[in-house]
Amino acid sequence: MVPDVAPLSAPDPLAGAVEADGPTSRERYRGLLWLVAAAFFMQALDSTVVNTAVPAMAEALKVTPLGMRTALTSYVLTLAILIPASPWLCDRFGTRRVFGAAIIVFGLGSLLCGIAQTLPQLVAARVLQGVGGASLMPVGRYVLVRSIDRGEFVRAMSTVATFGLLGSVLGPLLGGALVEFTSWRLIFLINVPVAIAGVWMNRRDMPEYRLDHANRFDLLGFLLFGAASALLLTASELAGATPVPWSRMGLCALAALLLGAIYLWHSRRTEHPVADLALLRVRSVSVALAGGLFTRLGISGMFLLLVLFLQVGCGWSPLAAGLMMVPQALGSIMAKWAVNRALVHYGYRRLLLGNTLIVAALLATFALLGPATPVWLIAVLTFAYGAFAGLQYTTMNTLIYVDLDIRHASMASSMASTVQYLAMSFGIALATLLMEFMLTGHAHENYVMAFRWTVLLLALVTAGASRVFSRLRPERRPDLAAPSD
């Protein structure tokens, strides 16, 4: 059924849902914000702190730095696969239970990551982390949409997003400091006390939203989508093996495409699919998802590539490399305050077209760096890249909501998060595979040359995303109350 094209401010059709202990006072409103912000902070910290520690972790686990990509992609892919289940879990078990369970599982996965002795153990623990993390951001966003008045929503989401970005700022710095002065294992173990505090805050501040009669969960669609995604990533992992097992890689890719086609057929014949592809008939939704997919495919691996370039190629210490990631996060934070003004002036189409090309150009500029490049110049480039990349992310994340009725917000949020993490997992895989292909040896200069060629190719992929955004209507202007990043 085609979704109604209506403002997001339409009445909430879920008004009949069970709402126990809703946030009616100013105190509860603040407590809910702190809880969701803490969850975003913990997840952002975990996503960035690991990149700085990759070389040290690879040495401890006796694998190559590029071989660590499985530990990174397994976590992100798990998020992508399980996020579509979040709306149904909330409807069936309630937001308080789901959010609390997510924090507990994420904390347990962090503990197991911290004590892992081999790469397979670390990958398994990262998958468990992903199981918990899959519900943190979608449920947090959904609860804020349901709980906070329309006029205060943008400010509330900006507050939450700022804490997430603060985690992105502290992550590389904290990761570098822990690796250099203590142990890489602490980058995971620091999540444990945060998770304990989160469980206590969840019991006190999280409102309970659920439906009296939840729709039947699309288990078949969920399994089809998950299996197709996992097989596709497995095919990309096999492409990095030496020698390449072409037959197994081809079979995995073919099976992934077949399962994906079956899911498309299945979703059109299911009343409540795990991902409602009918939303793609809304132009802003399809452009936001497709544009986000191709953009993140090009830039998601940049964090890891830059860390490898600085630590392995240029001989920097983990702490110094972590410090160089801070300007990128600071640039992204500063870009948040310019989003609304830029959208009002340029509109979605012009802003995304131009900004995508700027991000691609900045990405290509990294190919000019080398061991002799002044530190201040690298810092300026990473700051500029972070600012324009942050502007890109926030604009894409708000675009998906501008033409949707509020009753589709939960599904749209789930689909946006799924595509985001799916693109991130394949973006990391693509970046590391390209660098591994370009690597002719393991000397410092080999990593520098491989890094240069890789960022040039990724810049071309990113620039191609501008073609997707050209499908937007020129007259599109933002609803300034639309959800932020």
pLDDT tens for each residue of 248-273: 888 988 998 999 899 888 888 887 78
pTM for the whole structure:
0.78
Rounded CA gap, 152 and 111, in Å? 37
Q: Are 301 and 457 in contact (CB under 8 A)?
A: no
Q: Six-digit token pair at 440?
A: 């002719």
pLDDT of 340 higher than 90 = no
Q: How confident is the model at residue 135 (pLDDT cuts 50, 70, 90)?
A: confident
Q: What integer pLDDT is reported at residue 34 of this predicted model?
A: 83
24-212 and 276-485, same CATH topology: yes
CA proximity to 332, closest of 392, 257, 289: 392
- Domain map of the chain by residue range? 24-212, 218-273, 276-485
Q: What tens digit of pLDDT does each residue of 343-381 get?
A: 888 888 888 999 999 999 999 999 999 999 999 999 999
Least confident of 23-37, 73-87, 409-423: 23-37
pLDDT of 485 higher than 60 = no
* Angle at which helices 136-147 and 26-61 cross, to 10°: 170
Rounded CA gap, 392 and 126, in Å? 28
| Cis ω for the linkage preceding 243 (within 30 of 0) | yes
DSSP 384-398: HHHHHHHHHHHHHHH
CB proximity list for 164: less than 8 A, separation 6 or greater:
37, 40, 41, 43, 44
User: Domain 24-212, what fold?
Assistant: Growth Hormone; Chain: A; (1.20.1250)
Q: What integer pLDDT is reported at residue 388 of this predicted model?
A: 93
Q: What tens digit of pLDDT does each residue of 278-301 get?
A: 788 888 888 888 888 889 988 988
pLDDT of 458 higher than 90 = yes
Q: What tens digit of pLDDT does each residue of 297-329 get?
A: 889 888 888 988 999 889 898 888 888 888 888
Q: Are 141 and 420 in contact (CB under 8 A)?
A: no
Buried b (16+ CB within 10 A) or exposed e, 464-478: ebbebbeebeeebeb
Rounded CA gap, 65 and 69, in Å? 8
Q: What integer pLDDT is reported at residue 88 of this predicted model?
A: 80
Q: Indicate the CATH number of 276-485 among 1.20.1250.20, 3.20.20.140, 3.40.50.300, 2.60.120.10.
A: 1.20.1250.20
